[in-house]
Structure 1
Amino acid sequence: MPHLAAILYAMIIIGVILFQCCLIAGAPWGPVTQGGQHPGALPAKGRVVALLSAVLLAFMAAGITSAAGLAPNWQNWTGWAALGVQSLSTLLNWITPSRPERRLWGPVTSIMLGLATFAVVAGK
């Protein structure tokens, strides 16, 4: 079961990375990201943040899948580190001042946190 949780987590991460790529490309989704500070497309600084987020998300997915005994088979601490970042992300998405962001990402990140927790705790 930890394998399945890790795979589901990684699949959601792929979706979130695609979301970040759309932000980088200029999608007008500012109200549902980065605190909802931008009514349309993100400015250049926000797009850089989206790029860094996409890279971090990829590392998080690799850490969680590794913790569950899957590729890329990194050290176990990477799963715990990813779980810590996921916990912080979930909290921040629930307390964001942007109601649309909270309504979208609060539940998504909560599901991700549950999957990541199960994968790390029950993994290997």
Structure 2
Amino acid sequence: MPFALALTVVLALLSLFQLALVLGAPIGRFAWGGQHRVLPARLRIGSAVSILIYALIDLIAWDRVGAVDVFPEPFSEVAMWVVFGYFVLGIGMNAISRSKPERYTMVPVCIVLAALSFVIATGAGELTPAV
């Protein structure tokens, strides 16, 4: 369960970052390729959707470790591996960004998210029933 909690904390911080982008904060060099200081409307929508995706990922993770029971077990097992793949892809996508601030910030964040997702996907972070 500590891995799901750590994932939640990182995703919550990313959600705050994305919310700041949605609200027009001039930190666009850290996201979406770093081409805009303040994001245009279409990328602000993308940031809003990202917040929803983070919430879904968090729910899948907590379901996978057994803290909540929202999805059938086979779904959360497969979905957590998909989440792991998503963050591995994020490592690559952020690594090729033209924006140095994005590369230097988001690659390490994605590495942490991928590592946490991997541990959760393998089942190492599951709650064990009391005997």
SS in 2 for 1:76: helix
Deviation at 1:70, TM superposition (A): 2.0
In structure 1, C-alpha distance between the alignment counterparts of 2:80 and 2:2, rounded to whole Å: 15
2:32 — aligned with what?
Answer: 34
Tell me, yes or no, if structure 1 residue 43 matches structure 2 residue 40. yes
SS in 2 for 1:42: coil
The code of the aligned residue for 1:55 comes to L
Unpaired stretches in structure 1, ≥5 consecutive residues: none
Who wins on radius of gyration, i.e. which is larger?
Answer: 2
Instruction: Quote the RMSD (CA, aligned, Å).
Output: 1.4
Over the matched positions of the two proteins, sequence identity in percent amounts to: 28
In the TM superposition, 1:58-77 aligns within 5 A as 58-74=55-71, 75-77=76-78
1:53 — aligned with what?
Answer: 50
TM-score by length of 2: 0.85
1:23 — aligned with what?
Answer: 21
SS in 2 for 1:14: helix
In structure 2, C-alpha distance between the alignment counterparts of 1:6 and 1:90, rounded to whole Å: 20
2:81 — aligned with what?
Answer: 80
Unpaired stretches in structure 2, ≥5 consecutive residues: 127-131
Runs of 4+, deviation exceeding 4 Å = none
* Between 12-21 and 82-91, the greater mean CA deviation after superposition: 82-91
SS in 1 for 2:52: helix
Deviations 1:48-68, CA, capped at 9 Å, x for gaps: 110111111111111122222
1:113 — aligned with what?
Answer: 114
Determine if contact 2:62/2:68 at 8 Å carries over to the other structure: yes
Number of equivalences: 121
In structure 1, C-alpha distance between the alignment counterparts of 2:64 and 2:34, rounded to whole Å: 33
Deviation at 1:72, TM superposition (A): 4.8
